[in-house]
Amino acid sequence: MEYQDKITAVQRYVEAFATGDMSIIRELYATDATVEDPVGSDIHRGIEAIVKFYEPSLGSGIKLTLSGEPRCAGDEVAFPFQVSAPGMTIDVIDVFKFDAQGKVISMRAFWGPENMKS
C-alpha cells in the first residue's frame, strides 16, 4: 500500500466524523476488521460490531482534528489527533493496519484518563 493511500484513509476517517457519514467507516474497514478503543478494552470484531461501536460517536457531533503528521511504516499508519466533544477533549493516537486490498484490518486507539481534558 502506497504512502498516499494511507494518508487518504486517515483523511477519510476524520471526514467521517466531520460529516457523521457511517458509509465512510464501512468503506475504510475490512469486513473482518477489529477495533480496540482504547487499547486494553474489549475488541470489536467484524464490520457490524465496528459500525455499532461508531454509531454513538458519529451521531453525537464528535469531531476529530489532526494534531500532528501521520507516520507510515510497512502496512500501518499512526496518527495523533484530538477528539472534541461537548465539554471535553481527548488527545489520541490511532494506529491503522491495512490488508492487501487497502482496507483497515486493525485499529488500535492509544489514550487514557490522563489524555482527557474538560
State the catalytic residue, choosing from 29, 37, 54, 94: 37
User: Does the annotation count 13 as an active-site position?
Assistant: yes
Residue in 13, 29, 54, 94 annotated catalytic = 13
Identify whether 99 is a catalytic site residue.
no
Do residues 67 and 82 touch, judged by C-beta distance below 8 A? yes
Q: How far apart are CA 46 and CA 93, in angstroms?
A: 22
Q: What is the CA radius of gyration of the chain?
A: 13
* Distance, CA of 70 to CA of 30 (rounded, Å): 21
Other beta carbons within 10 Å of 102:
15
**Which residue, chain included where needed, has cell 464501512?**
26
Catalytic residues, by residue number, are 13, 37
